[in-house]
Every structure is written in structure tokens, then in C-alpha cells.
């Protein structure tokens, strides 16, 4: 008889995941994806009402989630949440924002605001979660929702693109540093997905024409397009994948 290989597990039963920015859009999709494959998901965001509604909806479907009100740019508060609720087996860092402007018009305030959430908080939440994994011998998975804009440039997006390129470099360095502990660090890079964040772009005919000219598969993304990539990176199915990114961009960066 041929000794057949078997597909590694796509399940997270008994595992605990932390999803930042999980009350809306892509982050909510990530939280559901992890809960659907068996994880208990701790979801963080600033706004309590939307967060509580998201958690209630997940639990109502028989999955397991809890809410933590947190501004990830408050590093001390974030560290306390991770210490109180961890250790985690999986981190999906999705909290992110955009304040788009022409590079010559960018204010220092907008630059700092975007950099604090998209880059600085991403760095320190990775560190806090990784420390819990290392201290507890957990061979965990850290996933950042970066962007195709972490690989290309975009109109009026010098700050946002800079922050996401920073995440891409950060992830490669952390993957090198934490590989010896069995930690994996990767990004998922979506194209334009319909969420509250992108409403402004979708309402601008010039911008939507630009977007549609770039996506080879001829449609913008949906939250569901991201969920499989996150479940893959979170589970043993991807156990030799680290320091890289999965582009869910309909072919944008290929061309």
C-alpha cells in the first residue's frame, strides 16, 4: 500500500486568538473565520457598542468570542489586555486607518495618527503577543492585515502606503527573529474591499475607475475574500510559511 500523506489541520480547536480591529469590516471577517474553525476569539476595538454587537452575533451562532475595549495605540493599555487575556495562539492585527492626502499637503498630525496605529501599534502588539507565546512555549501564528498598498504605491496614499510597507519590512524581520521559537509572522494584503474604511474611495468616480483598471479579475473585494487566507495562515496548514505575505488583490500587483 502507498503511504499517503494527509492534509494538515485547518482547525484551531482549543486555541485562543486575539483580533484587533475585529468589530467591523475585514477584522470582523477574520474573527469569524477563526471562530468558525474552533478558536475562542478575543476581539478588540475602541467603540464598545459595535464591538458588543459583533461578539453577540458570533456567540449567537454557537461560536466563542469575547469583547475588549482597547485603543491599540495606547501601548500600556494594549500590553495589559494581552497580559490579562493571553497567552494567545494566534494574533490577527487588523486595527488600521487611513487619512489620505497629497504628499505635499500631508499634515504632521495625520502622518503621526496613521503611523501610530498602522505601524507603531502593529509593532508593539506583535511583541506583546509574541512574548506570551515564547514564555509559554506556544508555536503561534502572528498575522497582520497589511495591504496591497504595502507592495505598490497609490494615489494620495504616501502615508498609508508608507505605513503598510513598514509593516511588510517589520514582519520579515520579526519572522527571522522569532523563527527559533517556532513563531510564524506573515501578512495578508487585500486589494480594495468594501468596508466603512473604503466608503470614501468607493464614492469617488475617479478613484473607483482607477481601482477597476487595476484589478485583473474585474471586481473589488469582499470581506469573505480575506477569510480563507487568514484561516490558512492561522492553522497548521501553513506551518512552514513565515516572513511573507498573501496578496488577495485580484492580480493588481502582478500587473
Rank residues 44 and 91 by Cβ distance to ligand NAP and give the closer one: 44
In the complex, least distance from residue 208 CB atom to ligand NAP, rounded to whole angstroms? 12
| Residue 154 sits in the site that holds ligand NAP (CB under 6 A) | no
Residues 87-106 close enough to bind ligand NAP by CB under 6 A: 94-97
In the complex, least distance from residue 199 CB atom to ligand NAP, rounded to whole angstroms? 9
Largest CA distance in the chain: 69
- Give the Cβ contact number of residue 10 at 10 Å: 15
* Cα–Cα distance for residue pair 84/87, rounded to 1 Å: 8
Q: Lay out the sheet containing 90-93: strands in order across.
A: 64-69, 40-45, 16-20, 90-93, 141-145, 184-190, 245-248
For this structure, is 181 an active site residue?
no
Taking the CA of residue 222 as centre, how many other CA atoms within 13 Å lie in the half-sphere pointing to its CB? 4
| Residue 25 sits in the site that holds ligand NAP (CB under 6 A) | yes
What contacts 11, CB < 8 A, 6 or more positions away? 37, 38, 235
# residues near ligand NAP by CB under 6 A: 31
In the complex, least distance from residue 234 CB atom to ligand NAP, rounded to whole angstroms? 16
Out of 160, 178, 192, 232, which one is annotated catalytic? 160
* Cα–Cα distance for residue pair 143/242, rounded to 1 Å: 10
- Sole binder of ligand NAP in the list 18, 33, 73, 125 (CB under 6 A): 73
Rank residues 96 and 250 by Cβ distance to ligand NAP and give the closer one: 96
| DSSP letter, residue 233 | H
| Residue 27 sits in the site that holds ligand NAP (CB under 6 A) | yes
Sign of the Cα torsion 32, 37, 39, 40 reads positive
In the complex, least distance from residue 177 CB atom to ligand NAP, rounded to whole angstroms? 23
| Residues assigned a catalytic role | 160
Residues that bind ligand NAP (CB under 6 A): 20-27, 44-47, 50, 70-73, 94-97, 117, 145, 147, 190, 192-193, 195-198
Amino acid at each position: 500500500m502507498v503511504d499517503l500523506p494527509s492534509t494538515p489541520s485547518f482547525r484551531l480547536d482549543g486555541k485562543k486568538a486575539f483580533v484587533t480591529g475585529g468589530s467591523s469590516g475585514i477584522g470582523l471577517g477574520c474573527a469569524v473565520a477563526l471562530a468558525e474553525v474552533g478558536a475562542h476569539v478575543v476581539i478588540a476595538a475602541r467603540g464598545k457598542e459595535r464591538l458588543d454587537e459583533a461578539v453577540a452575533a458570533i456567540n449567537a451562532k454557537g461560536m466563542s468570542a469575547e469583547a475588549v475595549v482597547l485603543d491599540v495605540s495606547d501601548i500600556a493599555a494594549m500590553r495589559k489586555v494581552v497580559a490579562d487575556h493571553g497567552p494567545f495562539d494566534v494574533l490577527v492585527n487588523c486595527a488600521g486607518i487611513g487619512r489620505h492626502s497629497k504628499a505635499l499637503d500631508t499634515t504632521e498630525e495625520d502622518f503621526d495618527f496613521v503611523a501610530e496605529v498602522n505601524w507603531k501599534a502593529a509593532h508593539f502588539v506583535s511583541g506583546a503577543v509574541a512574548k506570551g507565546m515564547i514564555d509559554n512555549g506556544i508555536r503561534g501564528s502572528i498575522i497582520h492585515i497589511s495591504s496591497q498598498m504595502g507592495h505598490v504605491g497609490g494615489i494620495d496614499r504616501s502615508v498609508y502606503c508608507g505605513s503598510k510597507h513598514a509593516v511588510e519590512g517589520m514582519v520579515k524581520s520579526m519572522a527571522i527573529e522569532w523563527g527559533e521559537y517556532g513563531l510564524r509572522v506573515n501578512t495578508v494584503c487585500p486589494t480594495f474591499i468594501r468596508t466603512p474604511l473604503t466608503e470614501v474611495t468607493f464614492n469617488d468616480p475617479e478613484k473607483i475607475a482607477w481601482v477597476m483598471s487595476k484589478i485583473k479579475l474585474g471586481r473589488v473585494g469582499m470581506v469573505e475574500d480575506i477569510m480563507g487566507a487568514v484561516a490558512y495562515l492561522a492553522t497548521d496548514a501553513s506551518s512552514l510559511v513565515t516572513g511573507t505575505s498573501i496578496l488577495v488583490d485580484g492580480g493588481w500587483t502582478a500587473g
